[in-house]
Amino acid sequence: MTTKKTTEIFAVAEGIVPLLTEKSYAVEEARRLPSDLARQLAIKGLFRLLTPSYLGGLEVSPQTFSKVLQILGRGDASVGWCTMIADTAALVGAYLDKSVAREIFADPEVILAGVFAPMGKAQDEGSYYRVSGCWHWASGSANANWLSGGAIIMADGKPRTLSNGRPEQRMMIFPSADVELIDTWHASGLKGTGSGDIAVREAIVPKQRSVSFLTDNPVAEGPLYAFPVFGLLALGIASVAIGNARAALDNIIDLTSHKTGLGSSKSMANRQLVQAEIAKAEAEWRSARTYLYESTSSNWETAKTTGNLDIQLRADLRLACINATRKSADVCRTAYDLGGGNSVFLSNELQRRFRDAHTMTQHIMIAPVMYEMVGRVMLGVETDTSSL
């Protein structure tokens, strides 16, 4: 059931779409989210969707999170992506001791960003970690007040291991002043996300300012935090992709309704090939979105009733996310093809939608290799499911 709160959140997201459409080329040219736009998103609460309510967050359902990102992705994929990163990075707040979390989230306009991959090393120094590392793909980092990065815990010069033999890793949380931003983001798609590198050298991180999404239990209660963090991250990626594909499809429908083919006085909409391709793309988009909705809802109902998502449910959600992201890229490819020669120009919206869609497919959470993991779960083959 849609509550008044969720209706208001949707209205806020819809209200900012015209601005995102207007600024899309400026965002891409800047190769990052402009600070004034990031602040507007923060003021409107769009970076607090998954933050616990006791920290001033909205603590929305995964379905609401998904729909908001679809709306923003329709306006501009880079903005939707940065919002997704800020929201999922803020999930550390649900795992931190409440007093520590309140210090980080004291400012209602605080922005977080981070990289989950354990690209750093953290030397255990007793009450704190001494951390060095460089993390790639740090989307939205230029506007963040706090940044986080995964790190392997080191002791006696070697990685410390868990009972299963795997290296222990934790997310280290740094104030932005401790972090170097390295401008490496010269990419084909999602150009406006500012997804360059971040680095720290010998940074001191109090132990209470670190979390493990693999071994720690969330401090925050409620069904949202029964959802695996990586499941919410994959859902966010898929949702931005769905929104981006919707915009591409709407764009090509509008274009073909008034564009005429070479040597013809009739619009392209009168061509049988165009009619068939539009219909197939629409069906593909709707089926991908429906599967994503159904899987998200099944996981959410289980989280609310039992507080425990079994591996089969988590695998199904990941499959729905992979499918939605890749089918969305296919839809954008259809729109790009139907756009003809106009599509090759960087100033063309279909060009940007195409590039953004295919860049999204490369994220490890929904990359083709994840099909293998899901398949192993479906077939009952032993596999490491820590990233599901």
For residue 68, pLDDT beyond 50: yes
Confidence bin at 1 (pLDDT 50/70/90): very low
Do domains 4-94 and 227-378 share one topology? The answer is no
User: Domain map of the chain by residue range?
Assistant: 4-94, 113-211, 227-378
Burial of 40 per CB tally in 10 Å (0-12, 13-18, 19+): middle
Burial of 49 per CB tally in 10 Å (0-12, 13-18, 19+): buried
Confidence bin at 220 (pLDDT 50/70/90): very high
DSSP-assigned letter for residue 159: E
How many angstroms separate the CA atoms of 355 and 211, rounded?
Answer: 34
Q: What fold, for 113-211?
A: Butyryl-CoA Dehydrogenase, subunit A; domain 2 (2.40.110)
Give the phi and the psi of residue 232 in degrees, each rounded to 5.
Answer: -70, -35
pLDDT, one tens digit per residue, over 141-193 is 999 999 999 999 998 889 999 988 899 999 999 999 999 999 999 999 999 99
How many angstroms separate the CA atoms of 261 and 204, rounded?
Answer: 63
For residue 386, pLDDT beyond 80: yes
- Provide the pLDDT for residue 73: 98
pLDDT, one tens digit per residue, over 24-56 is 999 999 999 999 999 999 999 999 999 999 999
How many angstroms separate the CA atoms of 175 and 48, rounded?
Answer: 18
Q: Which CATH class is domain 4-94?
A: mainly alpha
For residue 365, pLDDT beyond 90: yes
The amino acid at residue 252 is I
CATH 2.30.38.10 correct for 227-378: no
* CB neighbours of residue 215 within 10 Å: 12
Q: What is the pTM for the complete model shown?
A: 0.96
For residue 266, pLDDT beyond 90: no
Using alpha carbons, select from 278, 28, 228 the residue that is nearest to residue 116: 228
Confidence bin at 5 (pLDDT 50/70/90): confident
pLDDT, one tens digit per residue, over 102-134 is 999 999 999 999 999 999 999 999 999 999 999
- What radius of gyration, in Å, describes the C-alpha atoms of the chain? 21
For residue 239, pLDDT beyond 60: yes
Q: What percent of the chain has pLDDT over 70?
A: 97
